Amino acid sequence: MAEFTREQLHAYLDDALAEAEMARVEQALRESDALRRALRQAMQERDRGEHSLGAIWRRERLTCPTRENLSSYLFQVHDEARQEYIDFHLQTVGCPYCVANLADLRARQKETEGQAKERRKRFFASSASYLQVCRDPKKP
């Protein structure tokens, strides 16, 4: 169990570890009763509403760039220091949230105009339907 820290277990629960590290934790969980107990304890801490600085930092993803910043990163319009930080966050830290956001932004760049129009149409239709239900919840 000493092989994994409490912080690593919390990162595992947040799906915030690199793929190789996630796989290593999962393998160890299969083999270690002590590690499974430690993971259950970490989950109970969350259920109680852990309010440590580290927990708030992880939960709110305070070091993650915004989606707008990731878009600007793609176009390389940030100053050098900001570009380097985002690159570090993506490449070295391997933040799964930001990597997924960046992949989505890249996919959006490759959309044809027709695909973009269709996506906007679907969003509008689902939003209009949702707003109608909010206005009159008795309607199906």
- Asked whether residue 35 carries a pLDDT value surpassing 70, the answer given is yes
Domain that holds residue 80: 64-109
Helical residues (DSSP H) of 1-140, grouped into ranges: 6-13, 19-31, 33-48, 53-60, 67-74, 80-88, 96-109, 113-135
Answer whether residue 119 is part of any domain. yes
**Which residue's entry shows tokens 């304890």?**
41
- Asked whether residue 76 carries a pLDDT value surpassing 90, the answer given is yes
Same-domain status, 17 and 55: yes
More reliable by pLDDT, 102 or 54: 102
- Highest mean pLDDT of the ranges 4-18, 25-39, 107-121: 25-39
Are 95 and 89 a contacting pair, CB within 8 Å?
yes
Same-domain status, 70 and 45: no
pLDDT digits (tens, 9 = 90+) for 84-123: 999 999 998 888 889 989 999 998 888 777 876 787 777 6
pLDDT at residue 124, as a whole number? 73
To the question of pTM greater than 0.75 for the whole model, the response is no
pLDDT at residue 44, as a whole number? 86
Structural domain count of the chain = 3
pLDDT at residue 139, as a whole number? 55
Distance, CA of 129 to CA of 121 (rounded, Å): 12
Answer whether residue 78 is part of any domain. yes
Answer whether residue 51 is part of any domain. yes
Domain boundary among 60, 80, 97: 60
The amino acid that residue 138 corresponds to is: K
Residues 6+ apart with CB under 8 A from 19: none
End-to-end Cα, the chain, rounded Å: 52
Answer whether residue 1 is part of any domain. no
Distance, CA of 79 to CA of 31 (rounded, Å): 47
Same-domain status, 12 and 55: yes
